[in-house]
Amino acid sequence: MLTLKVITENREEVVRRLAKKHVDACGMIDRIIESDRKRRESQYQLDANLAELNRMSKTIGQWMKEGKKEEAEAIRRQVAEMKESNKALEEAKAAAEQAVYSLLVQLPNLPHDSVPEGTGAAGNRIEKQGGVIPELGAGAMPHWDLAREYDLIDFELGVKITGAGFPVYKGYGCRLQRALIHFFLESAREAGYLEIQPPYVVNADSGFGTGQLPDKEGQMYYVSQDELYLIPTAEVPVTNMYRDVILEERDLPVMNVAYSACFRREAGSYGKDVRGLNRLHQFDKVEIVRIDRPEHSYESLREMVDYVRSLVEKLELPWRILRLCGGDMSFHSALTFDFEVYSAAQQRWLEVSSVSNFESFQANRLKCRYRDADKKTQLCHTLNGSALALPRIVAALLENNQTPDGIRIPEALIPYAGFDLIKKG
């Protein structure tokens, strides 16, 4: 959530930057400023009335001592009238505050100045790329056929048990999943991240704190009886660990990593591009979360991007990093880099990670602050990234490493997998 101070003191700048996200914020910002003016007017009158009431109370006491009962009673009547007036002012102030808050939560985060112009994925800018795209021979199969051929994943059985988008992993498929999770968690631990095992369901306050609510309510699975949401990513519970917390500057940056299952409704997703592992309702992911000082958060973002790149390089996958344009960014991000790996059998790039800096947007909702060297509290900056999401990583690994003898396992993964080749039977 943007702060009121940023909006009121930098109106034109806010309007300009939100236009990059294709949000016409002029009317909403003017309503915020007007509602805040009404709030301040009510507060000013309340303060003046309270000062006058204090003065009148002292006068009543003095006149009662002097025996001026009639004069004291007259002032008492004025006090009663003013208290009634104050109730109306309190109501007006509360209504104005609610109006400001209701409008603030509808405004997305300001994009960083380095965010490119653009309306969608076509406007994203390739920052870096690396790795070698394999040349598959005749008869190369996409991962959904490989999964059936090697008995790794049963998509139809998942449909029977639950529905589309809930695959059943089997045998080597399970072992490959566990190996990747272990590899990602151990790599993060070695890089200085503290492992967290969070709940897989959260309350509405947590969903609001990280920006999933009310923006992505339709994409989350909701347990109505308990008023809880299944998490779309471990970012939500891990970041909410610091809701209403004041950290000490010496403890920053906070660096956490968590593995979790993730649940997303993905309403409206269909077609060839969502086949197999390309888009699921339940999937596994390892998430890294950082909380840092504002002046260091973009250095943290660079370190996170470099770290995720090291993972895809160790997995020997062709990769590229995209700087997302304004029209393709999330509601709550200030700057996002997407990682994609190349799927040789499908002959297309697959997104496997988003690494984002939210600046103070989430922290303002979370009331996540730190105490600086001058003992003043300031809003933190929050960041997170997938390190990594498993489904499309598995898809690319299976497709890119298929050989006549079986599916090869990247060298870095062998110690975690316990095998170097997936064979039939």
Q: How far apart are CA 99 and CA 35, in angstroms?
A: 6
Looking at the fold, whether 176 and 69 belong to one and the same domain comes out as: no
Looking at the fold, whether 126 and 11 belong to one and the same domain comes out as: no
Looking at the fold, whether 350 and 376 belong to one and the same domain comes out as: yes
Confidence of residue 28 (pLDDT cuts 50, 70, 90): very high
Q: What is the pLDDT of residue 267?
A: 59
Report yes or no on 26 lying in a domain.
Answer: yes
- The enclosing domain of 82 has a CATH number of 1.10.287
Q: How far is CA 314 from CA 49, 52, 187, in A?
A: 69, 72, 11
Question: Which tens digit of pLDDT belongs to each residue from 208-246?
Answer: 999 998 877 788 999 999 999 999 999 999 999 999 999
Looking at the fold, whether 176 and 287 belong to one and the same domain comes out as: yes
Looking at the fold, whether 60 and 142 belong to one and the same domain comes out as: no
Residue 8 has pLDDT above 90, yes or no: yes
Looking at the fold, whether 40 and 142 belong to one and the same domain comes out as: no
Looking at the fold, whether 246 and 384 belong to one and the same domain comes out as: yes
Looking at the fold, whether 226 and 315 belong to one and the same domain comes out as: yes
- The enclosing domain of 343 has a CATH number of 3.30.930.10
Contact residues for 307 (Cβ-Cβ < 8 A; gap 6+) = 188, 191, 288, 387
Report yes or no on 110 lying in a domain.
Answer: no
Lookup result for tokens 């519970």:
237
Please compute the mean of the pLDDT values over residues 182-196 and round it to a whole number: 98
Report yes or no on 37 lying in a domain.
Answer: yes
Looking at the fold, whether 274 and 239 belong to one and the same domain comes out as: yes
Q: What is the pLDDT of residue 272?
A: 57
Domain C-terminal end among 79, 104, 129 = 104
Looking at the fold, whether 82 and 161 belong to one and the same domain comes out as: no
- Token digits for 67? 């025996």
Q: What is the pLDDT of residue 418?
A: 97
Question: Which tens digit of pLDDT belongs to each residue from 47-100?
Answer: 898 888 778 777 777 767 677 777 767 777 777 777 888 898 999 999 999 999
Looking at the fold, whether 100 and 130 belong to one and the same domain comes out as: no
Please compute the mean of the pLDDT values over residues 318-342 and round it to a whole number: 97
Residue 273 has pLDDT above 80, yes or no: no
- The domain of 80 spans 4-104
Residue 373 has pLDDT above 80, yes or no: yes
- Token digits for 209? 């704190």
Report yes or no on 113 lying in a domain.
Answer: no
Report yes or no on 225 lying in a domain.
Answer: yes
Report yes or no on 116 lying in a domain.
Answer: no
Residue 283 has pLDDT above 70, yes or no: yes
Q: How far apart are CA 248 and CA 127, in angstroms?
A: 35
Q: How far apart are CA 303 and CA 193, in angstroms?
A: 12
Confidence of residue 270 (pLDDT cuts 50, 70, 90): low
Structural domain count of the chain: 2
Lookup result for tokens 């380095």:
114
